């Protein structure tokens, strides 16, 4: 993870994944060098964090556009006037949070997003942290025999899988996109090669992966269960505590994340932008 940065400062958050960046004001026009260094840090650490960013929706969308092409979330409406920005909200009276399980964002799409940006608008006084896990390490620490077997497999992901959909159903009923399909399903390799780094990463997750292609769910379950546990071993993770104005940017091609649901009775409001990706290979 050694790299040279001339403009930004990078402070690793753990030994496996994640770094906090300073020297970036996302509300301003950023130089090409600054943007290049942010992307360099993202590729090196899988997820990077900015703190104390005072952003309007225009600022947030412009900043995201420097890193990639913002796209709409397939199931929910965005903010009025900003369809690319999806509100992610847990209200004081709710007990279940949105996406509260380990996952890679919308891996059920034919071309899942390259990256996600999440901006904290309102956070609880304590709790509501997010965990991130390095999927390069999840793959690289497997045995050679397991790697060889997984390299031949593809997996089916679905937007209707119970582990992922339970936290979305209320939101879809309240603010679902008009004309959104009832189910989105795709097949992707179990091991994908990152198009920029060339490294291989494990690419299954408990929220969306249903089974291996050509196998039943029952036949797939034992091996998938092992891979789900392998994906999120503690030594592959970092934990981020949010403050208002914090931004997390994670690379969906090699990262899983899990928002911790430990702040009942408090409002948590986040704004989310995803960036266009390519078909996993």
Residues assigned a catalytic role: 103, 105, 257, 272
Structure tokens at 34: 């600054």
Phi, psi of 117 (to 5 degrees): -115, 135
**Angle, CA of 67, 73 and 213, to the nearest 5°:** 100
Give strand pairing partners of 192: 201
Contact 88, 248 (CB under 8 A): no
Q: Are 204 and 227 in contact (CB under 8 A)?
A: yes
Distances (CA, A) of 212 to 13, 139, 160, 203, 216: 34, 17, 16, 12, 7
SS3 of residue 135 by DSSP? helix
Q: Which residue has the tokens 């994340």?
A: 257
Q: Is the dihedral of CA 257, 262, 263, 264 positive or negative?
A: positive
Apex 261 CA angle, 131 and 123, nearest 5: 85
C-alpha pair distances (Å), 251 with each of 67, 79, 93, 272: 11, 23, 32, 14
Separation of alpha carbons 217 and 78, rounded Å: 34
Given a contact cutoff of 8 angstroms between Cβ atoms, the answer to whether 134 and 254 are in contact is: yes
3-state secondary structure of 73: coil
What are the distances in angstroms from CA 18 to CA 10, 117, 173?
A: 10, 14, 34
């Amino acid at each position: 993870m050694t790299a040279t940065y001339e403009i930004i400062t990078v402070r690793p958050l753990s030994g496996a994944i994640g770094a906090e960046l300073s020297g970036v004001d996302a509300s301003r026009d950023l130089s090409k060098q600054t943007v290049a260094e942010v992307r360099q840090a993202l590729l090196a650490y899988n997820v990077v964090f900015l703190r104390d960013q005072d952003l309007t929706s225009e600022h947030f969308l412009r900043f995201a556009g420097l890193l990639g092409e913002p796209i709409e979330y397939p199931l929910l409406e965005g903010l009025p006037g900003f369809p690319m920005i999806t509100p992610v909200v847990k209200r004081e009276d709710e007990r279940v949070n949105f996406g509260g399980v380990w996952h890679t964002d919308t891996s059920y799409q034919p071309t899942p997003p390259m990256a996600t940006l999440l901006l904290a608008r309102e956070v609880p006084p304590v709790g509501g942290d997010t965990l991130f896990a390095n999927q390069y390490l999840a793959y690289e620490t497997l045995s050679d025999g397991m790697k060889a077997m997984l390299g031949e497999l593809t997996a089916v992901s679905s937007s209707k899988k119970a582990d992922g959909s339970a936290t979305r159903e209320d939101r879809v009923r309240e603010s679902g996109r008009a004309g959104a399909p009832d189910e989105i399903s795709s097949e992707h390799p179990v091991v994908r090669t990152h198009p920029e780094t060339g490294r291989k990463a494990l690419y299954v997750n408990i929220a969306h992966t249903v089974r291996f292609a050509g196998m039943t769910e029952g036949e797939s379950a034992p091996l998938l269960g092992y891979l789900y546990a392998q994906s999120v071993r503690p030594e592959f993770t970092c934990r981020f505590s949010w403050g208002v104005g914090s931004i997390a940017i994670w690379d969906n091609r090699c990262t899983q994340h899990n928002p911790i649901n430990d702040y009942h009775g408090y409002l948590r409001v986040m704004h989310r932008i995803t960036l266009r990706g390519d078909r996993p290979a």
